[in-house]
Structure 1
Amino acid sequence: MNKKYFFYSCCLALALASCSDDDNTPGNEPSATHDDYSYVGKAVGNFTAEEWYPGGELGTTDNIASNSYEDETPAVTNQGLSNLFKFGESFFERTFNSTTKPFNGLGPAWTRDACLTCHPGYGHGKRVTSYNANEYGNGYLLVVYHPDTQGYITEVTGMPQTRASYPFLPPIDESGIHLEWKTATDGALPTTFPDGETYELIYPEITIDQEAFNTNPKPTNYEVRLESTIGIYGTGLIDAIPEEELKKQYQTEASAGATLNPAMWDATANDWASTAWYTGYPANATDRTPHIKRYTYALTRATLQDGPGANAIWNITNVTRSDRPKLYTTDAWAKAMSENEEVINTILKEGKDEESLLHPYYADGTREGIAKAVATLLSPNTNQFDNDVYNFKPEMQDDNYYELMVWHRGLAVPRARNLHSEQVQRGKELFYQMGCTACHRPSWKTGSDNYWADTVVKGQGELPKYANQTIWPYSDFIQHRLFMKNDIRGAWCRTTPLWGRGLSKANTGAEDRLHDCRARNEVEAIMWHGYSRESDAFRSAEKFYNLPKEDRDAVVAFIRAI
């Protein structure tokens, strides 16, 4: 245990001495009493000693306070990477802008100006009632797609942008985004438990006016869904799970009769589908070895070093770097801006000043020249670094990106809490009996962790490593279908890890769950699993529904403890 957290735990124990050791009922966060701490690291009840450390010896922090999602792993400390970790943390927490180094390069269109806005307290995004990109905690990404093909529309980026630099208009005007929360009343199970306690299921309905798209052309035949960010702690440990172990899990579930996403698993060959392999590395990557996808709800990324976080620091803020030399924009937006009279007039008036940020768009000072420059420089198909006219430089330096990745791969998982509680032990027993572990697989063993690294990282140094660790994420990292109202695009959704989620309220101020934060607590999350009889988890949810309240509370206490 880290000594600084031992002192904290002892102080907190004195403050909470009058509290019950089993104060783990729904609505309360687990407490760190002295008695609780005395059990840490020891086998107790139906928990093994190692289950206290979900991230293993190298990936767990003893901190269970309101900043526990932010800690570095022991691996970071052991490898002498702590200073790099702290520098990398600043790029996650700071707001990006147009000019102030090293946090410059925001825009010209962006989704958020700071990572922390999407990941409050480093955790899962929170549910909001109206769409405002700059509202702290709003981790939503707009998913705009064609209902016939399920593919993203091409008029805006896959992670649509609602903010833009002056004088440009955002690709989507937020005033045209309409979000309404509705109550689901037609589920397969009643919203009153047999003992009389009730619950409610809500879901988001979101639309975007066609006129809100500042693109040419404007999209047609589209639908919109929401997807929220997930907690980012412990993601480096997921990267260390061997691909052969992932394959065994797919084979186990397939042999048990589970229907798996054919885009990931070829049922006939009992092997990976051709589309399960990720090959979309940056153009300058020297190592383009295919790897199996394991990250994001849609399983779009395979390695953390080219995963959602590495990608997001580029496309969310639109900050270029040496391995991401092009802007994250669309030609439809670039064309619309090149045709906008107010944009042209502003550049014509202000861009002649060589010190102006608009000067690159001024070109030859003619309206035609400005329009061409805008269309060219806002296009995703222009290499901003090698443009014949303008010699732009990467906005994020390689050493800063490396520091970010040390931080990203170095985030620890908080240790488990209250495993000595009889209520938590009962909850574990029920969780297993209900069949929840079929998808929420409890533990994995990491391999040698010879991680893939892109050209930039290889040129800078090593990253935290997690070789031969037993970890407890409670996920199979496979996609399943729950058939919920206004379901996720494509219906398939990767099982979200449960580790550390019991500390969400303390760290983020919210405890919303599922891909779009529709579940406001654990009970609603479980019951959404039973909304449809077609759901892959219906039987487990049905068993939970039929439990007495005391046992339902025990299941929730267990989920909060791990």
Structure 2
Amino acid sequence: MLKRPVLQSAAIGLVALAAFAMASNEPAFPLQNTPLTGGEGTVEQFDHNAYSLPQGNLSMTRRLDFSVGNSFFRNPWVEAPASTDARDGLGPLFNTNSCQGCHIKDGRGHPPGIDAPSVSLFLRLAVPADPETDAELLRRHGFKPAPVYGSQLQTAAISGMKPEAEMLLTWAPFIATLGDGIRVELHKPVYDIAKPNYGPLPEDLQISPRVAPPMIGLGLLQAVPETDLLAQADPNDRNGDGISGSINRVWDRAREQTVVGRFGWKAAEPNIHQQSLGAFAGDMGLTSSLHSHTDCTPEQKCGRFANGGEPEVSDKVAGFITFYASSLAVPARRNMADPDVQQGAKLFSQTGCAACHTPRHTTGQVAGRPDLSDQTIWPYSDLLLHDMGDALADGRDEFLADGNEWRTPPLWGIGLAQTVNPRAGFLHDGRARSLEEAILWHGGEAEKSREQFKAQPATERAALMAFLKSL
């Protein structure tokens, strides 16, 4: 993989703050003191539609744009040619036929059930790359796609085309024992690819399962100044706290240059627009001005089928989709006066969780978007890469992210995740069925915090859960 540059951290002041907190038993990071988690655009919606509302401070004119974007996000795309020519061109290979098919109710996806096809979880593919001969490929794509099968396993196809293969998922259960003897059953996912239709799979194939993440607050996260992310990064752990958050450096297709990444499970996308059009190409087989080709390789001969135009996703439609994805509001905090929630908030900081799940940020100025500008937000993420240990590793590099590293996922709204989608799982592949399970899977830089959680008395663990469910 590419060599990560050494970054100078501007966050050394946090070390003294953390040391003071340990000595005084005070939280090292700010405690949220407002229910307005997403700033002035926060909404009070706590049912199955909690993730589907526009920014509360969005103007009426822009709400019309939001509605148009919502229609393209929600409605299925179809094979070409079709009378619905604004939404045709699906495939020939794909994983789902709509954005909403993965991001269920704009929320998290889930692993497939027994003998059920996977809809909101897919497998990224790669093979080992040579840093010298594959240097340009790594600079622009971050990894080396698999021969014939490309960068993503497509498990569906239009009529007349065969899917690439079937994804099989089984579970291997095991027990984690807490300090007070409580036993928690975890289950490890085991993936297999069966019935490949385009020749044998590479023996050195690398797979990375990815479940669809929630869509809320993306525009606010994009508005966090890059300087703030750089200031938090400490890739060489110069302060010795065991946390070494790193910036991913990724390729911006529109600007034709390497920039800071902040979206996706490995922070491999620089902005919402590129992330969205990448999903159109990889998940639905739809071309755009940023992706003139889908993940279909020459050996699969997708060109023999009709397309939905060149490109299939017009810049106008892409603009509506990007606006929609950048405008979904964050639901307000709940139960903040509850003593257990307040205790859990302090424990979240004292056990080191807030070192990666940074509670507070302030957005910068966003041209034409006063609803996103100058907002104090509480996403609980530093948007940086962290080593999460071997148990969660996928062994697949992506730009500067190695096989053990994942971007800190924002926690805002997480207490409503299973209200929005009752089958939603946590972590990058949805393996954790509860927030407690998610914590117990943490390793690497988070191992110390995990062990503190396991050692806590049941009342403190319950308080921490109450806090997380209030977010």
Shorter-chain TM band: 0.7 to 0.9
The answer to whether the Cα contact below 8 Å between 2:151 and 2:295 also exists between their aligned partners in 1 is no
Residue number in structure 1 paired with 2:342: 425
| 1:474-526 residue CA offsets vs partner (Å, 9 max, x unmatched) | 01111112224362231111111100010011111134211111111011111
| 1:85-134 residue CA offsets vs partner (Å, 9 max, x unmatched) | 0111111111111122322111111121111121112111113244755x
User: Kindly tell me: are residues 290 and 466 of structure 1, through their superposed partners in 2, closer, same or farther at Cα, counting changes over 3 Å?
Assistant: farther
CA positional deviation for 1:48: 5.0
Residue number in structure 2 paired with 1:167: 160
Which of 115, 119, 122 pairs up with 2:106? 122
Residue number in structure 2 paired with 1:155: 148
Q: How does 1:550-561 map to 2 (within 5 A)?
A: 550-561=459-470
CA positional deviation for 1:418: 0.5
Residue number in structure 1 paired with 2:47: 65
CA positional deviation for 1:192: 2.7
CA positional deviation for 1:213: 2.5
1:144 aligns with 2:102: no
User: Kindly tell me: are residues 184 and 464 of structure 1, through their superposed partners in 2, closer, same or farther at Cα, counting changes over 3 Å?
Assistant: farther
Residue number in structure 1 paired with 2:74: 93
CA positional deviation for 1:74: 2.7
Residue number in structure 2 paired with 1:279: 251
Which of 170, 174, 177 pairs up with 1:192? 177
CA distance in 2, matches of 1:465, 1:406: 12
The answer to whether the Cα contact below 8 Å between 2:32 and 2:359 also exists between their aligned partners in 1 is no
Which of 352, 355, 364 pairs up with 1:447? 364
CA positional deviation for 1:440: 0.7
One-letter amino acid of the structure 1 residue matched with residue 177 of structure 2:
T
Residue number in structure 1 paired with 2:411: 498
User: Kindly tell me: are residues 539 and 260 of structure 1, through their superposed partners in 2, closer, same or farther at Cα, counting changes over 3 Å?
Assistant: closer
Q: How does 1:248-287 map to 2 (within 5 A)?
A: 248-251=231-234, 254-257=237-240, 258=242, 260=244, 276-281=248-253, 285=254, 287=255
Q: How does 1:346-365 map to 2 (within 5 A)?
A: none
CA positional deviation for 1:465: 5.0
1:105 aligns with 2:22: no
The answer to whether the Cα contact below 8 Å between 1:446 and 1:468 also exists between their aligned partners in 2 is yes
CA positional deviation for 1:141: 1.5
Residue number in structure 1 paired with 2:455: 546
Normalised to the residue count of structure 2, the TM-score between the two structures is 0.82
CA distance in 2, matches of 1:87, 1:476: 32
CA positional deviation for 1:216: 5.1
Residue number in structure 2 paired with 1:473: 379
Normalised to the residue count of structure 1, the TM-score between the two structures is 0.69
SS in 1 for 2:277: helix
User: Kindly tell me: are residues 472 and 437 of structure 1, through their superposed partners in 2, closer, same or farther at Cα, counting changes over 3 Å?
Assistant: same
User: Kindly tell me: are residues 203 and 152 of structure 1, through their superposed partners in 2, closer, same or farther at Cα, counting changes over 3 Å?
Assistant: farther
The answer to whether the Cα contact below 8 Å between 1:111 and 1:159 also exists between their aligned partners in 2 is no
SS in 1 for 2:59: helix
User: Kindly tell me: are residues 194 and 323 of structure 1, through their superposed partners in 2, closer, same or farther at Cα, counting changes over 3 Å?
Assistant: closer
CA distance in 1, matches of 2:294, 2:425: 33
SS in 1 for 2:445: coil
Residue number in structure 1 paired with 2:24: none
CA distance in 2, matches of 1:404, 1:235: 13
SS in 2 for 1:167: coil
One-letter amino acid of the structure 2 residue matched with residue 183 of structure 1:
P
The answer to whether the Cα contact below 8 Å between 1:431 and 1:437 also exists between their aligned partners in 2 is yes
CA distance in 2, matches of 1:103, 1:325: 17
1:292 aligns with 2:267: no
| 1:315-359 residue CA offsets vs partner (Å, 9 max, x unmatched) | 31122234433343112322xx7xxxxxxxxxxxxxxxxxxxxxx
CA distance in 2, matches of 1:466, 1:54: 13
CA distance in 2, matches of 1:431, 1:60: 23
Residue number in structure 1 paired with 2:273: 305
Residue number in structure 2 paired with 1:179: 169
User: Kindly tell me: are residues 90 and 102 of structure 1, through their superposed partners in 2, closer, same or farther at Cα, counting changes over 3 Å?
Assistant: same
CA distance in 1, matches of 2:299, 2:371: 42
Residue number in structure 2 paired with 1:525: 438
Where does the alignment leave 5 or more consecutive residues of structure 1 unmatched? 1-45, 186-190, 266-275, 338-372, 379-383, 386-391, 451-461
CA positional deviation for 1:154: 3.0
CA distance in 2, matches of 1:321, 1:159: 18
CA distance in 1, matches of 2:235, 2:197: 48
Residue number in structure 1 paired with 2:292: 325
| 1:227-259 residue CA offsets vs partner (Å, 9 max, x unmatched) | 211111111111001111100000498332346
SS in 1 for 2:322: helix
CA distance in 1, matches of 2:300, 2:153: 11
1:206 aligns with 2:188: no
One-letter amino acid of the structure 1 residue matched with residue 338 of structure 2:
S
Residue number in structure 1 paired with 2:11: none
The answer to whether the Cα contact below 8 Å between 2:124 and 2:152 also exists between their aligned partners in 1 is yes
User: Kindly tell me: are residues 75 and 157 of structure 1, through their superposed partners in 2, closer, same or farther at Cα, counting changes over 3 Å?
Assistant: farther
The answer to whether the Cα contact below 8 Å between 1:227 and 1:488 also exists between their aligned partners in 2 is no
CA distance in 2, matches of 1:128, 1:47: 37
The answer to whether the Cα contact below 8 Å between 1:217 and 1:332 also exists between their aligned partners in 2 is no
SS in 1 for 2:124: strand
SS in 1 for 2:191: strand
| 1:157-176 residue CA offsets vs partner (Å, 9 max, x unmatched) | 31221112221212x222xx
Bigger Rg, structure 1 or 2: 1
Residue number in structure 2 paired with 1:38: none
Where does the alignment leave 5 or more consecutive residues of structure 2 unmatched? 1-29, 131-142, 396-402
SS in 1 for 2:48: coil
Instruction: Give the CA RMSD over aligned residues.
Output: 2.6
SS in 1 for 2:210: strand
One-letter amino acid of the structure 2 residue matched with residue 517 of structure 1:
G
User: Kindly tell me: are residues 556 and 151 of structure 1, through their superposed partners in 2, closer, same or farther at Cα, counting changes over 3 Å?
Assistant: farther
Q: How many residues align?
A: 419
SS in 2 for 1:199: strand
Over the matched positions of the two proteins, sequence identity in percent amounts to 28
| 1:156-209 residue CA offsets vs partner (Å, 9 max, x unmatched) | 131221112221212x222xx321100245xxxxx2323332211211011114
The answer to whether the Cα contact below 8 Å between 2:146 and 2:205 also exists between their aligned partners in 1 is yes
User: Kindly tell me: are residues 550 and 218 of structure 1, through their superposed partners in 2, closer, same or farther at Cα, counting changes over 3 Å?
Assistant: closer
Q: How does 1:335-414 map to 2 (within 5 A)?
A: 374=304, 392-414=309-331
Which of 227, 234, 238 pairs up with 2:210? 227
1:488 aligns with 2:394: yes
